[in-house]
Structure 1
Amino acid sequence: MKAGKVKAQGEEGLRQSMSWLHTWAGLIFGWVLFAMFLTGSLAFFRPEITRWMQPEIQVQPTPAVQAAQTAQRYLSEHAPDAKRWFITPPSNREPLIQLLYQVPKPKPGERGFVRIKLDPVSGQSVTGRETRGGEFFYRFHFELETAFPWGRWLASIAGMFMLVAIISGIITHKKIFTDFFTFRPKKGGQRAWMDGHNVLSVLGLPFHLMITFSGLVLFMVMLMPAGIQAVYENPRQYTDEVFKSFKVTPPLNQPAPLTPIAPLVEQAQQHWQGNVGRVTVNNPGDAGATITLVRDAADGVSFGRLAPYMRFNGVTGALTESEDDLSATVKTAGVVTGLHLGLFAEPLLRWFYFLVSLAGTGMVGTGLVLWIAKRRQKARPGDVREAFSLRLVDGLNAGTIAGVVLGVAAFFLANRLLPADMPGRQIWEVRAFFIAWGGSLIYAFLFQRRKWQDLLGIAAAALALVPVVNVFTTSRHLGVSLPAGDWVMAGFDLTCLASALLFGWMARKAARTRKSPAKAPAKTRPERAAVAKNAVAGGAPAATIATSSPIAQAPTAHIAPNHGAYEPRGDTP
């Protein structure tokens, strides 16, 4: 019996330690993680968002062979002296031909890369309104709009804390499978939020583990460079050996015509029985030119840089190097990276990625709200420092959870409302995002009592306004896109409306919570023990004490399931 008690106490002590770690690991970077999860969720639809934000561009994709011929003709005319050409054939998600070339003599401080988009039918460059489009969310997700490499370091550190929070949360949960099926929204207060946090956490647990770990693997070279530095004298050697399709070959400085690229694309597609995802030409117009074709990432899980490739002599067109059977190490790295990016996912799986990633966003948000609920429960009356910390965290919660969503809506609205020919308009779109987020934080601290219901309501209104503004600013609104079956434009508007309904419901719940009278918090464990002791002293039967205090022996409350009950104070939703 004693051994059993010691074991039980040891398990409970471990869970208590993990609970503390889970709580603080989730809080310290919780606001950054919320923004990273939300923008990462949106990044799964990066091409579709960009297409919505450039409504004047309407093209249809063409076969890769025809696109390669069109791209070579354009680059031979406009960039014959470039060091490298990068050609991305069109696809259903990105119907334009995307070109990138490196000029031979860039300006000081610049890498000298120029991006061009071509109409695959006419072969002419396409210029829509200036916008970062979905690329903004993709870049913000891992760079946080901060100078290189500091943004990536901050995102990586936040990812490490997220991984610690997930693992400690698994250990903390006693009834992890029961929590998957337990959700009691009618209970209200902390219990409903705790159930929601548990359901969102357990629902996508394998996905959250995968996406967090694989995100750290993406920055493995930056985070742990010691092994590479010990083996390679020059980091470029490591890059050329691992990412063979990106290998930079030297020129011979002897002019020679470039062989046609289209037949090579056709040859590669027949060999792979799949599509070509990228064409790289090193030293076009030189006798040392090489043409490298990489298989499309959508044909498999492995990421494009770690996918099968074929390299040809740029003058004769002869195959010089290829790799179809990748090593186990390269396959593993490519699959881990590919799983994180999700480029292989077809529409149904892509929506699954999006929704489960949104569940992760909700998991972080509900965890932040629960932190406040628990601390208010245990707050000591008259403690000024504790009251200040609660106001600070609650303000950051409201200003970030509602503010980032409002920022996303402001980003989309700015795209439609700013003049299409306005210089630097893409900068102002990004500024609109941060102005809305910053304004939400200020509002949250100025109006403590109303912040949740007001900010959630404003976010809902802004999201609902996006498709409305789209009606008056473009000809590709729901009235046109739905009958035409244009699901990129229609799906975007419908998603905004669905999101508006969700945040409108949340604002309504926050308003009800604020108006409802606050109830006294549950007694702490010492208080319950004192009540039980007094009851015994007064002659109350032991059975009565046991039934009147069913959780008297429960461990100290923390952000974990089934520990205590609480009704919220103030306006915390």
Structure 2
Amino acid sequence: MKDGLRQSMAWVHTWAGLLVCWLLLLVFMGGTAAYYRHEITFWMKPELHAAAAAPATLSPAQSAQLAVRVLQERAPSATRWTIDLPDERNPLIQASWQNPPKKDMTRQERRNALRDQNVTLDPSSGLQTAKPRDTRGGDFLYRLHFDLHYMPAIWGRWIVGIGAMFMLVAIISGVITHKRIFKDFFTFRPKKGQRSWLDAHNATAVLALPFHLMITYTGIVTLMFIYMPAPTKALYGDEQNTMFSDVFGNFERGKPADIAAPLADIAPMLQQAERAWGVTPSRVAISHPNDAAARVELYRPSGQQLSNLEPAMTFDGVSGALLSETPPVSTALATRAAIYGMHLAHFADPLLRALFFVCGLAGSAMVATGALLWGVRERQSYAKIVANGGRVGFGVRLVDALNIGAIAGLPIAFAAFFWANRLLPVDMAQRASAEANWFFIAWGAAALLAQIRPTRAMWRFQLTVGAVLLAGIPVLNVFTTHSHLGVSLFGGPGLRPVAAFDIVVLVLGALLGWAAWWLGHKAKKKAAKKQTAADAGSTSTMEPV
């Protein structure tokens, strides 16, 4: 530690950020993509695009009745039905069901079963759409940013949580360290080496500082029951379900009566909820359908409310009578729900969601420039050794390789995930898992190459590969789908997410391509400068004739 508060905080900021920066980069990039996870999932299911292009002709009540009829045919004995009605982010009718879980099923087997227990309906024709390819879509990136992969979810959440705590320490210590932080935000000095990287780090950090603080703190709070289990253990012991029932209300959904009874018409319930709320419910959940204990829950759209608690109405599934509405919640639960809602941003309209996305990109740039700044600073201390033919230390070389593997390698991994979605056989077994595997295969290859040769040339190579793969996705769409950019741009509101996705990856690919070009241009200028100096030196040593 250094003497003085600011010097001590600078030391804390450096090491708190460096030790977890590569993990944080994955978390930031996955979380940023998750703001559009529904749109990404839709893009990764091109079989649904044709149905989404047609304007909807069914009313919400007709859509719900259609879904109920289909569910009656597909899963009359399921324990729960869920119907997601069309909206601006989900143009199709999504119906799914849950069967009683088998005792010997693992969590992964249960998740795989749930992915097969769903059907998508066309709101314009009422017919079932073509069966989409097996993919986790945007949910893979959403889960990746807090569950990681290839490990139990609880381990991943602990690892990410520790990283988030380091991040919070780095943010606070960074604010304390920079006494001119807001002035430095308006300062950028290009072509100044370490100074330029510091200016870039300051600018990306201050640009979205409230967002960085909010997203880091709320990310920790959302999983507080994992990180601080002592209070609940002291009060409830191992009865965690009882705790959740007390805190969150309807955690237990009751038991079936095992008495067959017809399900009431759902249209009057939807109309009653719409009159009360002024908006059409977004989701219908039916517990124990075709049973005397059936319950129908209608959920109000998130709208612009900060809380993630969706107001709901509960009806008797047999008589159709209103049983209850969402009761007022305690101050503690309302606070927790607001914090959770801030992190998920379900309340955001399209413009605000885009702003959150940009802030997420700024967070990724902040982490990346911080890691690069450490490498530049440390390499300067080896300048004389390198000039005399020596090499930088192992730590600097390791950080350089990790920087290449994370900063340049992660875009390659994201692009490989999307390419795999288009190129893997549609009827392939375990296809969703194979897509995820290709993400890590590409990332692992990039990280391994970086370890072998952590040079400027490797930076250029990986940035170029990432640029080609990302910018090539719209081109790949031309040969693998019927909803490429030339169609989706003019295909109506239902295809806007497809067009937006292609445009975003095209822009990101162009930015990576510019970065690769800039590195090459800088290397050429440096080589030309050395050659000029060498020529001048050789000329000065020549004897006059």
**How would you bin the TM-score normalised by the shorter chain?**
0.7 to 0.9
1:418 Cα shift? 1.9
Aligned to 1:426: 432
The answer to which of 200-209 and 20-29 deviates more is 20-29
Q: 1:459-510, CA deviations, whole angstroms, 9 ceiling, x for partnerless residues?
A: 1111111111111111211222223343222211111111111111111222
Give the Cα separation in 2 of the matches to 1:295 and 1:454.
Answer: 49
CA change 1:88–1:483 in 2 (3 A) is closer
What is the aligned partner in structure 1 of residue 321 from structure 2?
318
SS of equivalent to 1:316: coil
Residue number in structure 2 paired with 1:497:
506
Q: Find the partner of 2:332 among 329, 333, 336.
A: 329
Moved more, 106-115 or 347-356: 106-115
**1:107-256, aligned counterparts within 5 Å?**
108-110=104-106, 111=110, 113=114, 115-121=117-123, 122-124=126-128, 126-145=130-149, 146-185=151-190, 187-232=191-236, 234-256=239-261
Pair 1:413 & 2:419 matched = yes
- Greater shift in the superposed pair: 288-297 or 157-166: 288-297
CA distance in 1, matches of 2:118, 2:210: 39
Matched, 1:94 2:94: no
SS in structure 2 opposite 1:259?
coil
| Map of 1:377 onto structure 2 | 380
Instruction: Determine which of 72, 75, 80 is the counterpart of 1:79.
Output: 75
1:28 aligns with 2:19: yes
Deviations 1:64-87 (A, max 9, x none): 322221222122222121122222
Partner of 1:549: none
In 2, Cα distance between the equivalents of 1:275 and 1:241? Answer: 29
Q: Helix, strand or coil: the match of 1:149?
A: helix
1:444 aligns with one of 427, 447, 450: 450
For residue 539 of structure 2, what is the aligned residue in structure 1?
Answer: none
* Residue pair 1:460, 1:504 contacting (<8 A) in 2 also: yes
How far does residue 393 in structure 1 lie from its aligned partner after superposition? 0.8
Deviation at 1:333, TM superposition (A): 1.6
Pairing of 1:462-473 with structure 2 (within 5 A): 462-473=469-480
Mapped pair 1:510 → 2:519 = yes
1:258 and 1:285 in contact (8 A); partners too = yes
Tell me the CA shift for residue 448 of structure 1: 2.6
The secondary structure found in structure 2 opposite 1:217 is: helix
Q: Which amino acid aligns with 2:37?
A: R
Match of residue 480, structure 1, among 480, 487, 500: 487
1:279-318 equivalent positions in 2, closer than 5 A: 279-303=284-308, 306-318=309-321
Residues of 2 paired with 1:14 and 1:379: CA distance? 28
Superposed CA offset, 1:28-71 (max 9, x none): 11101001101111111111111111122133455432222122
Is the CA contact (8 Å cut-off) linking 2:184 and 2:203 kept in structure 1?
yes
Pick one of 264, 267, 276 that aligns with 2:281.
Answer: 276
Q: Distance in 1 between matches of 2:233 and 2:138?
A: 35
* Structure 2 partner of 1:14: 5
Q: What is the rounded CA distance, in whole Å, between the counterparts of 2:236 and 2:320 in structure 1?
A: 32
State the 1:416 CA deviation: 1.6
| Residues 231 and 209 of structure 1, relative CA distance in 2, 3 Å threshold | same
CA contact (8 A) 1:67 1:97 kept: yes
> How far apart are the structure 2 equivalents of 1:380 and 1:494?
42
8 Å CA contact 2:201–2:366 kept in 1: the answer is yes
- 2:65, 2:358 → 1: CA distance? 39
Shift of 1:207: 0.5
1:70, 1:123 within 8 Å by CA — same for their partners in 2? Answer: no
The structural deviation recorded for 1:299 is: 4.8
Give the deviation of 1:513 after TM superposition.
4.1
The match for 1:262 among 248, 267, 285 is 267
Given that 2:30 and 2:144 are in contact with CA atoms closer than 8 Å, whether structure 1 keeps it comes out as yes
Deviation by residue 1:97-125 (Cα, 9 ceiling, x = unmatched) = 22332213526124464531321432526
Given the alignment of the two structures, is residue 340 of structure 1 paired with residue 343 of structure 2, yes or no? yes
Structure 2 CA distance for partners of 1:242 and 1:308, relative to 1, 3 Å: farther
Aligned 8 A contact 1:410 1:436 in 2: yes
Q: Give, as a single letter, the amino acid of the residue that structure 2 aligns with 1:488.
A: P
How far off is 1:348 after superposition? 1.1
- Following the alignment from structure 1 to structure 2, what is the Cα–Cα distance between the partners of residues 152 and 358? 22
Name the stretch that deviates more: 475-484 or 45-54: 475-484
AA aligned to 1:136 is F
Q: Displacement of 1:514 after TM fit?
A: 4.0
The answer to whether the 8 A contact 1:34-1:365 is kept is: yes
Unpaired runs of 5+ in structure 1?
A: 1-9, 519-573
Residue 168 (structure 1) shift: 0.8
Matched, 1:53 2:44: yes
Instruction: Decide which of 41, 60, 67 is 2:63's aligned counterpart.
Output: 67
Paired residue type of 1:200: T
Distance 1:243 1:385, change over 3 A: farther
Note closer, same or farther for the CA distance 1:144–1:500 as it changes in structure 2 (3 Å cut). same
1:139: Cα distance to partner?
0.9
SS at 2:82's partner residue? strand
Match of 1:457 in 2: 464
Q: State the one-letter code of the partner of 1:80.
A: P
Q: In structure 1, what is the Cα distance between the partners aligned to 2:217 and 2:343?
A: 9
TM-score if structure 1 supplies the norm length? 0.83
Deviations 1:124-152 (A, max 9, x none): 26411222211111110111113221111
Q: Which residue identity lines up with residue 341 of structure 1 in the other structure?
A: L
Which residue number in structure 1 is paired with residue 403 of structure 2? 397
* Pairwise CA distance, 1:204: 0.2
Please tell me whether the aligned partners of residues 81 and 284 of structure 1 are also in contact (alpha carbons under 8 angstroms): yes
8 Å Cα contact 1:274/1:299 also seen in 2: no
Number of equivalences = 505
Question: Structure 2 vs 1, CA of residues 325 and 275 (structure 1 numbering), >3 Å: closer, same or farther?
Answer: farther
The one of 92, 98, 104 equivalent to 2:100 is 104
User: Hey, what does 2:542 align to over in structure 1?
Assistant: none
Matches of 2:195 and 2:347, distance apart in 1: 39
Give the counterpart letter for 1:75 in structure 2: L
Alpha-carbon separation, structure 2, partners of 1:175 and 1:361: 22
CA deviation string 1:154-191 (max 9, x = no partner): 11111111111111111111101102211222x33111
Structure 1 residues 183 and 115: alpha-carbon distance in aligned structure 2, compared to 1, 3 A threshold = farther
